[in-house]
Structure 1
Amino acid sequence: MFILRKVFGKLFVLDKLGIFSFTFVIVIFSSIVMRMLEPKTFPGWFDALWYVMTTVTTVGYGDFYPVSIAGRIYAIFIFLIGIGIAGLAIGKLVESLGANRKRREEGRLEFKGRNHFVIIGWSEKARYAISEILETHPEIYIVLIDNLPAAPFTHKHVHYIQGDPSTEKVLIQANLKEARSVLVFSDDSIQDAALTDGKTLLIVTSVERLTPHIHSTVEIKKEEHIKNFRHAKVDEFVLSHETVSRMAVRSAFSKGITDIYSQLLSHKHGENLFEVRKRKEWKTYKDAFEGLLREGATLIADGNDLGINKKLDEPIRDDARLYIICRKEVYDSLLAQA
């Protein structure tokens, strides 16, 4: 008993790899020994391995068992040592899975995927953004970065990273270099708009320095700060207060227009806004407009240019970003054809 206690005392201080390696050696060695001691009972190497595995896991089907004195003596060794080692290995495996889950919930696991969205800053706006992405592109992975002690949003396609998003270490942990796009939301806990935009600018500067090629969309509080963000190479801006104010004014003059805005911005129902690429058969904007119209979609813009109706006879650039309004099923059909 003292010897067994010494053996297991040594095993408990081993790491997971050491325990799994030792368990593997014991199982293979015991299979070889049983095969050599009782070749008639275990006609094949796999038969011996099967017996050892069913023994150390305490399953014990009884289809194979040793009949010689030597075989039974070694079986006693498997009972005393092998079962304990296998139980220890299984316990370590369960412990490892639990620790891994805890690290994921706490945002301490590195994300290794590619072509994902990175969202910086948790808020209700971030929650809506994540829900919209998951609803529109359910196959896309999202990495959320914030300083919260635990993940605020639980979903198999949402990976949480805890830390300061202005530090390179955290951005690398989110695998920003392989990301598709980054969205930075302003910190609503800061009351001063200048301080809020200052923090956002610090984060964006770190993002653009690490990955200057990435497409960045940033929420800012004050319009006069746009020139600072442009200097930091930000691609697109969202003026949160200005957007809400403009929608309120429009609704005052045109009843029901906010419903149209909401419908275009959300993919939950009705006609929605989508982006499509140029087709080879489309030489001019008129070709694209008429071709899309026949399929149930309306071409409204190329990038930020809404004047499509004024340039129908002009040729379409190969890198044109065409925006259309249509139903989701029409857009899926267009993607399938492309």
Structure 2
Amino acid sequence: MHFFLRYAYRLFRLNNRLLAVMTVGFVLIGSAAAYALEPDTFGHWFNSLYWVMTTMSTVGYGDYSMKTIPGKALTMVLYLFGIGLLSLVIGKILEAFASIKKRRETGQLAYRGSGHVVIISWNKKAQAAVEELLSSDPGLEVLIVDENERLPYDHERVHYVSGSPTSGDTLERAGVGTARAAIVFADERMDDYQLIDGKTLLIASSIEEFSPDVHTTVEIMSEKHIKNFRHVKVNDFILSHDAVSSLAVRSALNEGTIDLYRQLISRQEGEDIYEVPRRSHWRTYREAFQALLEEGATLLADRGDLGINRKLDEPIPEGARLYAVCHPDTFRRLKEARESG
């Protein structure tokens, strides 16, 4: 009994690579020995390999069996050592899967994909953003970076990296360098607005240092702090409370308009704003407006210029980026027509 305990203890201490080599070697040697002892029983070496595997796994179909004393002795060796060895291998595999699952849930795994969106700092607004992203593109993957100990949002297309977002190691594990965009939400677990925006500034500067080309959107608590970001490359700012206040005022002054705004800021319902592909034969805004209108879309703006309806006869400048309001199906048709044309 002491021998078997020592045997089991040593097996458990083996590293995975050595254990795999030992298992493969044991199976191959056992198969070769079985075929050498009773070649007529198996007829082919592969059949002896099949017999060893079924014996070690305790399946034992009975279509092959040893008939000689040496053959039966080999079968006993397979019983005594092979079954335990194979069980240990299976246990190691299950342990590896459990370890990967645990590391994923605790944010210790590095992300190896690309074209994803990185969400930094977890709160209710970040959760709403994740849900919006997942519903807007069925192929898009989202990665959350926060200092929580466990994955805050469980979804097959949501990944998690735990750590400080100001650390280069954390940003590297999050794959920020290959990301499509990064959104930094204000850390509302802090009480002071200045400290919150200060942390956001530090995160933005860390992202710029690590990956200066990634499109970065940050949420700030106070508009006066925008000037503090002048030395940091940030593509867009979101004022934390201004949007809510503005929507509340518009709802009070224009009854019923809140549904329109909700549709425009959410891809989960109704129409949405899309950047429409420009066609080469569009010379003026009017031509673009009329062509899009026939397709079921309404031309809204050129970049941040919402006043193009007052200059429809002006030529569309080089580098223009046209935005229209339309249904997602309409946008897909416009995109497909552009690609096919």
- Distance in 1 of aligned mates of 2:35 and 2:65: 11
The TM-score normalised by the length of structure 1 is 0.94
Q: Structure 1's 317 and 35: CA in aligned 2 closer, same or farther, altered over 3 A?
A: farther
Distance 1:2 1:333, change over 3 A: same
* Contact 1:251 1:258 (8 Å CA) reproduced: yes
2:206 aligned residue: 206
- Where does residue 143 of structure 1 map in the other structure? 143
* Change in 2 beyond 3 A, CA 1:3/1:281: farther
Q: 2:104 is aligned with what amino acid?
A: R
Taking a change above 3 Å as real, the CA distance of residues 129 and 72 of structure 1, as seen in their structure-2 partners, is same
Q: What residue is the counterpart of 1:325 in the other structure?
A: 325
Between the aligned partners of 2:80 and 2:281, the Cα distance in structure 1 is: 76
State whether residues 38 and 71 of structure 1, in contact with CA within 8 Å, keep that contact through their aligned partners in structure 2.
yes
Cα deviation for residue 115 of structure 1 reads 0.5
Is 1:132 the equivalent of 2:132?
Answer: yes
| Residue of structure 2 equivalent to 1:80 | 80
Tell me which amino acid in the other structure corresponds to 1:166.
T
Report the alpha carbon displacement of residue 295 of structure 1 after superposing the two structures with TM.
1.5
Question: 2:187 aligns to what SS in structure 1?
Answer: coil
Asked whether the 8 Å contact 2:54–2:61 carries over to 1, the reply is yes
Q: 1-side partners of 2:139 and 2:202: how far apart?
A: 31
Kindly indicate whether the alpha-carbon contact (under 8 Å) linking 2:117 and 2:141 is maintained by their aligned counterparts in 1. yes
**Alpha-carbon distance, 1:7 to partner:** 2.9
Task: After TM superposition, list the pairs within 5 Å mapping 1:4-43 onto structure 2.
Answer: 4-43=4-43
Partners of 2:219 and 2:239 within 8 A in 1 = yes
Q: Cα 1:74–1:245, aligned 2, differ >3 Å: closer, same or farther?
A: same
Moved more, 67-76 or 280-289: 280-289
Structure 1, 31-40 or 185-194: larger mean CA deviation:
31-40
CA distance in 2, matches of 1:238, 1:328: 24
Secondary structure of residue in 2 paired with 1:159:
strand
Q: Is the 8 A contact 2:147 2:162 kept in 1?
A: yes
Matched residue SS, 1:40: helix
The CA deviation at 1:38 is 1.9
For the residues of structure 1 that align with 2:190 and 2:314, how far apart are their CA atoms?
Answer: 48
Question: Which region of structure 1 is more displaced relative to structure 2, 307-316 or 142-151?
Answer: 307-316
- Cα displacement (A) at 1:269: 2.1
Alpha-carbon distance between aligned partners in 2 of 1:314 and 1:168, rounded to the nearest angstrom: 47
Query: Can you list the C-alpha shifts for 1:67-121, whole angstroms capped at 9, x where unaligned?
Result: 2222221111111111100000101111111111111111111111111000000
8 Å CA contact retained: 1:278, 1:319: no
Matches of 2:280 and 2:17, distance apart in 1: 56
Structure 1 window deviating more from structure 2 (312-321 vs 85-94): it is: 312-321
Distance in 2 separating the partners of 1:9 and 1:170: 38
Counterpart of 2:58 in structure 1 is 58
**What's 1:258 paired with?**
258
Residue equivalent to 1:67: 67
Kept in 1, the 8 Å contact 2:277–2:335? The answer is no
Tell me, in whole angstroms, the C-alpha distance in 2 between the residues paired with 1:141 and 1:56: 42
Aligned twin of 1:242? 242
Aligned equivalents of 1:161, 1:334: Cα separation in 2: 37
Describe the shift of the 1:147–1:70 C-alpha distance in structure 2 as closer, same or farther (beyond 3 A). same
Quote the Cα distance in structure 2 between the aligned partners of 1:314 and 1:74: 91
1:228 and 2:236 equivalent?
no
Separation in 2, partners of 1:157, 1:135 = 11
Q: How many pairs are equivalent?
A: 338
Q: 5+ unaligned residues in a row in structure 2: which ranges? A: none
The reply on whether 1:276 has 2:276 as its aligned counterpart is yes
Question: Are the equivalent residues in 1 in contact too, given 2:201–2:229 (CA < 8 A)?
Answer: yes
CA deviation profile, 1:249-285 (whole Å, cap 9, x unmatched):
2222222222211111112222222223223444443
CA distance in 2, matches of 1:102, 1:156: 15
1:145–1:160: 8 Å Cα contact kept in structure 2? Answer: yes
The Cα shift of 1:336 comes to 3.1
- 1:91 is aligned to 91
In structure 2, the CA distance between the partners of 1:84 and 1:310, relative to structure 1 (3 Å rule), is: same
The one-letter code sitting in structure 2 at the alignment partner of 1:70 is P
Q: Distance in 2 between matches of 1:244 and 1:34?
A: 77
1:310 Cα deviation after fit: 3.9
Task: Write the letter of the residue equivalent to 2:266.
Answer: S
Structure 1, unmatched stretches of 5+, are none
Equivalent AA in structure 2 for residue 210 of structure 1: F
